[in-house]
Amino acid sequence: MTGEIFVEAKNLCKHFNLGHGQLLHAVDNVSLQIANGETLGLVGESGCGKSTLGRVLVRMYPQTDGTYLMRGNEVPNQLSFAERKRFAREVQMIFQDPFASLNPRMTVGDIISEGPDIHGLWRASEKRDRIHYWLNRVGLRPEHAARFPHEFSGGQKQRIGIARALAIEPRFIVCDEPISALDVSIQAQVVNLLQELQNEFKLTYLFIAHGLHMVRYISNRMAVMYLGKIVELGSSQDVFSSPLHPYSEALIAANPYPDPEKERQRKHQLLTGEITSPVNPKPGCRFAARCPIAQERCKQETPLLREVQKGRFVACHLR
């Protein structure tokens, strides 16, 4: 990892109070850094807290505990509308659900120009051109500006979402499962687009997804989350080819090979056991109940994320 640190999270926690003393530890003690211009991939199964982490980083939620620094400055927990405006020029989000992320009553042009309108970035005379520019840039046509979201396909909607996020020229974009709702062929197109834009505009990405191949393709480094905690962190290449944490192993092993022959020959490892609940969790490794190599110590003591090799972090007593 090189370059200036753009985003830093130290012991970030996000807990939800469910009432009656039930506390849901959605994000528990997460520490990570994202360098300027890099893409950090974040993977994990559904419910592991990756989306929540993403939302905390865009300040859709305040964090419950820990520190969140952006370019060395602490991001306030509750943003006033003025602070929110400043923050918006730094961080934007691309949403998972293309259908719900665009206001059906607004034209595409309005959607894209909303940010610049709020921040006064464009002069009235150049507005139309700018909208056309962005439409072209994401692979759509200028005449689409007057149309409504419901007239577009899922992939096109995501492109509009990307254009919207980029139009106010942010530095850091949290991509919250941007391709999960799309067909595979379209997924590739959108991911390629994201990469192009990153190169052109020098963007920093947090790429949240559960499709491992795509994450590996687009990310420099990769973090694996399980039940609110980061269990492994390292370069995508390393994590993918030689995972250290037993959960990462299982996750990557579960990823099917595109070649049916090879896939059939592969050894399949199944995880058995109950999933620990993220509500009022007891101390000990969260993965212990399903871990094939779990020992007594794992059930008593929570493992911390520690650097075992240069740039590689694991949260396991045994690795």
Partner 1 sequence: MKSLTPEMFEPKLASLDEAEKISRPILTYFQDAAVRFLRNKVGVFCLGFLTVITLVGIVGPLFFPQMGEDMAYENAINTDFQNQRPSLGDYLLVTDDSWSPPDALIKPNFNTAAGLLAPEKVFAPQNFKIASAATVNGVTLQWEPLEGVTGYEIFRIAGKKESLDLESFRTSPGSVGMTLGKIEDPAQYTFTDSSGLDPSEHYAYAIVSYVTYPDSGETTFSTTASVLNTALVKTIKISDAKHLKANAETGDTIRGRAFLFGTDSLGRDIFARMVMGTRVNFSLALIVPSICLLLGLIYGAISGLSGGKVDLIMMRVIEVLDTLPYLLLMIIMQLVMGKGVLSLIIAMCAFGWTGFARVIRGEVLRLREIEFVHASRLLGAPLSRLIFKQIAPNLIGLILVVWSSRLPGVIVSEAFLSLLGLGLEAPAASWGMVLNEAAQQFQSHPVQFLLPASVMATALLAFFLLGDALTDTLDPKLRGRD
106 binds partner 1 (CB under 8 A): yes
> Among positive and negative, which fits the CA dihedral 149, 152, 153, 158?
negative
CB-CB contact of 305 with 313 (8 Å): yes
Binding range to partner 1, per CB under 8 A, among 33-41, 42-50, 103-111, 259-267:
103-111
Cβ-based burial of 283 (10 A; exposed 0-12, middle 13-18, buried ≥19): exposed
Binding to partner 1 by CB under 8 A, coded x per residue (else -) over 127-146, reads ------------x-x--x-x
Largest CA distance in the chain: 69
Nearer to partner 1, 155 or 243 (CB): 155
41 binds partner 1 (CB under 8 A): no
Nearer to partner 1, 60 or 304 (CB): 60
Q: Which of 74, 126, 129, 151 binds partner 1 (CB under 8 A)?
A: 151
Whole-number Å distance between alpha carbons of 25 and 132: 44
103 binds partner 1 (CB under 8 A): yes
Structure tokens, 208: 């949240």
Binding range to partner 1, per CB under 8 A, among 3-11, 28-36, 69-77, 153-161:
153-161
17 binds partner 1 (CB under 8 A): no
Phi and psi, residue 274, nearest 5° = -80, 145
Q: Which of 156, 158, 187, 219 binds partner 1 (CB under 8 A)?
A: 156
Q: Which of 95, 172, 205, 247 binds partner 1 (CB under 8 A)?
A: 95
Nearer to partner 1, 170 or 243 (CB): 170
Q: Which of 1, 5, 88, 289 binds partner 1 (CB under 8 A)?
A: 88
164 binds partner 1 (CB under 8 A): yes
Q: Which residues bind partner 1 (CB under 8 A)?
A: 58, 60, 81, 84-85, 87-89, 91-93, 95-97, 100-106, 114-115, 118-119, 139, 141, 144, 146-148, 151-153, 155-156, 161, 164, 168
